């Protein structure tokens, strides 16, 4: 690990100023950043510790019925908050399907949004990677690509975004509150992460020094609470990133879908909002045929980035399964194996 300066910020303004220097990085729980530093994947010359910033660890119910979740709220605290979980059950299910309990107890909301890809070529400093070193090339192209992207990839990068949390958030129109030199601004989470294009090193819309201070969930998205699920296919049921995941939320009226939301994970360098599928779902009567049509629409632009064509069919089947579970209704209690295709709805964790 290289030498670096350490700054403990006491205010948001102080943090933004300190992190505006080239080579600076923010530090909260460090569950991803410290691994990258130890492996020599990233070498910041300054760490700005934001863990002592005031009021960023609060979950607030807003007057309009929405929620403002501080950037330093721990993943487990958010998942187990009863009021939040009741309003946005698919978000709680996604959080509880990610990592281990120890990591969820440490990892923060903002850190989850900012986590880096788990592409093995990105993690290997000996491999060419345009994300790590712009212009170096992408050694994943022609390499082992089983877990790589099937949507939105380019010749410069075929990596995927690893978050479960973000997939459910994108489906519910979450917004990111960002502080910078010019004050604060809000950006939809769907627009927050970037696709690789020809500059995969730029992973989000953040500019130097900008800091995520909160996440906003709109009150309108709580209308999906009765029919909202997250599902995740992974190589092992615990402690694994998604091969493919899906978040589905529906508003129903006597067997007809008034409005549907669908997002996918493990398929692109950002959480993928499947708006084409939502158009198919709107106003239609529930049926397996409808769900298959929605899955086809969601994946119309999908193409393998190597030896991963199976992910397209896997995603198609998972979409159908997730929509069917959402249509059946959100369970009264969290499944004992959150988001798992093998979970028994009879075994539960908590209300």
State the first-to-last Cα distance of the chain, in angstroms, to the nearest integer. Answer: 44
CA distances from 351 to 160, 227, 297, 336, 342 (A): 33, 16, 35, 11, 20
pLDDT computed for residue 282 by the predictor? 98
On whether the CB atoms of residues 250 and 323 are closer than 8 A, the answer is yes
Residues of the chain with CATH 3.30.465.10: 59-114+163-220
Average pLDDT of the residues in 319-331: 97
CB 66 within 8 A of CB 174: no
Specify the pLDDT at position 345. 57
Cβ pair 250, 257 in contact under 8 A = yes
At 106-144, the pLDDT tens digits run 999 999 999 999 999 999 999 999 999 999 999 999 999
Which residues are within 8 A (CB) of 135 and not within 5 positions of it... i.e. 6 or more apart?
none
Residue 351 — very low, low, confident or very high, per pLDDT cuts 50/70/90? very low
Q: Using pLDDT thresholds of 50, 70 and 90, give the confidence band for residue 148.
A: very high
Q: Mean pLDDT over all residues of the chain? A: 96
Burial bucket for residue 82 (CB in 10 Å: 0-12, 13-18, 19+): exposed
Q: Does domain 59-114+163-220 have CATH number 3.30.465.10?
A: yes
Among 39, 87, 234, 103, smallest CA distance to 95 is for: 103
> Residue 343: pLDDT band by 50, 70, 90 thresholds?
confident
Residue 331 and residue 35: Cα distance in Å, rounded?
36
Residue 184: beta bridge partners? Answer: 179
pLDDT of residue 20: 97
Q: What is the pLDDT of residue 347?
A: 47
The CA angle 200-261-71, to the nearest 5 degrees, is 55
What average pLDDT score do residues 301-311 get? 98
Inter-residue contact 170 to 199 (CB < 8 Å): no
From 180, 177, 203, 197, select the one nearest 188 (Cα to Cα).
177
pLDDT in tens, 185-212: 999 999 999 999 999 999 999 999 999 9
Please provide the DSSP assignment of 240-281 as one string: --EEEEEEEEEEEETTEEEEEEEEEESSSSS-EE-HHHHHHH
Please write the tens of the pLDDT for every residue from 228-272: 999 999 998 878 999 999 999 999 999 999 999 999 999 999 999
- Does residue 348 have a pLDDT over 90? no
* 5-52 CATH choice from 3.30.43.10, 3.40.50.1100, 3.50.50.60, 3.90.1200.10: 3.30.43.10
Give ranges for CATH 3.30.390.50 in the chain. Answer: 224-328
To which H or E segment does residue 216 belong?
strand 211-217
CA distance 212 to 185: 10
Token pair belonging to 219 = 């009150």
Q: What is the Cβ-side half-sphere exposure of residue 76, based on CA atoms within 13 angstroms?
A: 9
Placement of tokens 């959100």 in the chain:
330
pTM over 0.85: yes
Within 8 A by CB and 6+ apart from 332, the residues are 348, 351
Contact 349, 80 (CB under 8 A): no
Q: Is it the case that residue 157 has pLDDT exceeding 50?
A: yes
346 has pLDDT over 60: no
Separation between Cα atoms, residue 325 and residue 316, nearest integer Å? 15
Rounded-to-integer distance, Cα 196 and Cα 98, Å: 24
Instruction: Count CB neighbours of 207 within 10 A.
Output: 11
- The SS3 call for residue 177 is strand
Instruction: Say how far apart CA 217 and CA 170 lie, in whole Å.
Output: 10
239: Cα within 13 Å, side-chain hemisphere: 4
Residue-level pLDDT at 1 = 63
CATH superfamily entry for domain 224-328 = CO dehydrogenase flavoprotein, C-terminal domain (3.30.390.50)
CA 108-114-117 angle, 5° bins: 120
Query: What pLDDT is recorded for position 106?
Result: 97
What band does 341 get if pLDDT is binned at 50, 70 and 90? Answer: confident
Contact between 297 and 262 under an 8 Å Cβ cutoff? The reply is: no
Q: What pLDDT score was predicted for residue 349?
A: 44
What are the residue ranges of CATH 3.30.43.10 in the chain? 5-52
């Amino acid at each position: 690990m290289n030498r670096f300066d350490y700054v403990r910020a006491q205010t948001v303004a102080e943090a933004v100023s300190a992190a505006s220097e080239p080579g600076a990085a923010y530090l909260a729980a460090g569950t991803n950043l410290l691994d990258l530093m130890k492996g020599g994947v990233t070498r910041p010359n300054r760490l700005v510790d934001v863990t002592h910033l005031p009021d960023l660890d609060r979950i607030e119910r807003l007057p309009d019925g929405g929620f403002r979740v501080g950037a330093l709220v721990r993943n487990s605290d958010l998942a187990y908050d009863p009021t939040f979980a009741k309003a946005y059950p698919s978000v709680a299910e996604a959080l509880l399907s990610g990592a281990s309990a120890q990591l969820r107890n440490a990892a923060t909301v903002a850190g989850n949004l900012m986590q880096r890809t788990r592409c093995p070529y990105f993690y290997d400093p000996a491999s060419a990677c345009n994300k790590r070193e712009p212009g170096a090339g992408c050694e994943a192209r022609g390499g082992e690509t089983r877990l790589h992207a099937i949507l939105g990839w380019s010749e410069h990068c075929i990596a995927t975004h690893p978050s479960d949390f973000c997939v459910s958030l994108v489906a519910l129109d979450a917004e990111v509150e960002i502080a910078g030199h010019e004050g604060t601004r809000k950006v939809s989470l769907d627009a927050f992460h970037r696709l690789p294009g020809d500059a995969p090193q730029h992973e989000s819309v953040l500019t130097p020094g900008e800091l995520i201070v909160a996440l906003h969930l709109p009150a309108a998205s709580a209308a999906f609470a009765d029919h909202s699920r997250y599902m995740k296919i992974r190589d092992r049921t615990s402690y694994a990133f998604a091969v493919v995941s899906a978040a589905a939320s529906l508003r129903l009226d006597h067997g007809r879908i008034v409005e549907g939301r669908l997002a996918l994970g493990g398929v692109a360098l950002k959480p993928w909002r499947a708006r084409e599928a939502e158009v198919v779902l709107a106003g239609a009567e529930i049926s397996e045929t409808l769900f298959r049509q929605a899955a086809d629409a969601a994946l119309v632009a999908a193409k393998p980035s190597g030896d991963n064509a199976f992910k397209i069919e896997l995603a198609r089947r998972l979409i159908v399964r997730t929509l069917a579970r959402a249509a059946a209704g959100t369970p009264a209690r969290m499944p004992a194996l959150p988001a798992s295709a093998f979970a028994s709805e009879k075994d539960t964790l908590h209300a």
